[in-house]
Amino acid sequence: MELKNMKILITELMDDEAVSFLRKSCTVDVKYKLSKDELLKIITEYSAIIIRSETIIDEEFLNAAVNLKIVGRGGSGLDNVDINAATQKGIIVANTPESNIVSAAEHTIALMLASCRNVAWASGFIKSGQWDRKRFHGSELMDKVIGIIGLGRIGGLVAERLKGFAPGKIIAYDPYIADSRFEKYGAEKITVLDDFFKQADIITIHTPRTKETIDMVNDREISIMKNGVHLLNVARGGLYNEDALVRGLESGKIASLGIDVWMNEPQSGHGLYKFDNVTGTPHLGASTSEASLRVGVEVANEVLAGLRGEMVKNAINIPSISDTSFKKLSAFIELSGKMGHFYSQLSKHGVRKIEIKFSGNEIENGGDLKILSLMALKGILERSVPETVNFVNAGLIAEQKGIEVVEDLEVGQKDYKNMITLKVYEDGGSIFEISGTVFDRIYPRIVNINDYRLDLDPHGKFLYAPHKNVPGVIGKVGIKLAEYNVNISRMIVSDSDSKGSSIMILRVDNNVPGELLDRLKEFDEIQDIVVVDM
């Protein structure tokens, strides 16, 4: 898809190399520190916006952003984006959940060491011209019970890095992950949060900020912790109640606090700033040159994929897909979209039901099949509805149009190692069926259209011509194309069916004039002819 006429707005800090990369494809405007009113005035011009944690993407913004197709969030948090409102409007919301996880994990370790050893306090003390060692007695990590709340991407990396400090043990609380992950990172699983708080000498938290996790550590939780506990937050502001932290520091219950994220950012003052045993940073978890480059490049690729109508790996408002699954499924994702798009260009009827079935061993769960289903739906619907269709809103549009969608996963396949079959039930009772496969997990092919077997590489411009399979028809069509200087780069002819009909598919190198189509339709042997652009 041509992107030159599309505009991207970048409202927060982004790596220069990533900005240059985007400018090769689109018009890019970099405008930092816009007020809400300024943003609402200009957002109508843009097809995409790239943000970090400060720009608010709420319903008012989305109502104003009439041409917006994708919101790209550099980093993982999405507290500042109304995902439900974006989904209703068919706007993709994508983040970069793994681009800065190493930096965040390392910053956690840095703050843990700095706060346990009073590094910032001591540094400021000697720079003021004073000298003292007694007041800065700290705590070692060795032999301590270190607790991690949230053993996801970042929590897991923190656990890996802590092993080198020989802690007494690492404990973790995370009710949403499998036991195997605790085993992988050498963490003892704690199932009751209060038991976790009672055991840990040092606590670091790595969860998203949701209704359930805001203030998950408050006065009651702090009261049951060990005396002299050390606390860390490099995840999201508000997971610890900040007023409760002040009270815990004043009472001496909390020996030190390392904090990188705040409930309100930016801020010029805070009750925690007065404590010497608080080591604070202004949301620096992702602030390394390496992470900035990774974030910028990844969010740029996500945005460009969204603008092209391709699958966006880290889109939040579709079923999630891991890096491993995405690499494995990328050719299947492309194929399912191509099959839907192919059908949409041949369709002359309304659709009442769509069935998609995957046969084979490459797909193991319904979530992966849902991705293929959404891509096929997108291809089927995008030519027949006035609104923009993408994999975010395709299911919703199908539901609104009363189209039933059925998905089926079948282990094993006789004819091929894998097969995607798309069956479309049309108004009036007719059924259109198209099947495809992927060779070597790389090469997509359409191998069946209704009862006709063929081998079609679904890339390029084609003439699709069901016809009577009689002598001379292929030659007549070829001669007529030559008269109009239309070159045939490849020809595929299917086997005949029981009625003596076949399908001729011609890949052509240039545009097909309407007059040529009219001339071809005059041949008695040609039952139909359609230009299909893949």
Q: What is the DSSP string of 42-99?
A: HGGG-SEEEE-SSS-B-HHHHHH-TT--EEEESSS--TTB-HHHHHHTT-EEEE-TTT
Cβ contact 171:188 at 8 Å = yes
3-state DSSP assignment of residue 448: strand
Tell which residue, 388, 359, 383, 385, has the closest CA to residue 372: 359
Phi, psi of 49 (to 5 degrees): -135, 140
CA geometry: angle 313, 318, 319, nearest 5 deg? 85
3-state DSSP assignment of residue 137: coil
Residues shown for the chain: 534
Lookup: tokens for 438: 């992927």
Residue 458 to residues 333, 378, 432, 443, 446, Cα–Cα distance (Å)? 13, 16, 18, 10, 7
Cβ contact 292:115 at 8 Å = no
Residue 59 to residues 64, 80, 91, 173, Cα–Cα distance (Å)? 9, 11, 12, 34
Q: Mapped to the 3 state alphabet, what secondary structure does 245-278 carry?
A: HHHHHHHCCEEEEEECCCCCCCCCCCHHHHCCCE
Give the burial string for 261-279 (b: 16+ CB within 10 Å, else e). Answer: bbbeeeeeeeebeebebbb
Lookup: tokens for 482: 């030559």
Lookup: tokens for 472: 């001379």
What are the residues whose beta carbons fall under 8 Å from the beta carbon of 156, sequence distance 6 or more?
Answer: 181, 184, 185
What are the residues whose beta carbons fall under 8 Å from the beta carbon of 348, sequence distance 6 or more?
Answer: none
Q: Which residues are catalytic?
A: 236, 265, 283
Tell which residue, 439, 532, 524, 432, has the closest CA to residue 492: 532
**DSSP E strand boundaries for 115-264:** 145-149, 169-173, 188-189, 202-205, 229-233, 254-259
Cβ contact 82:269 at 8 Å = no
Helix axes 16-23, 289-308, angle to 10 degrees: 20
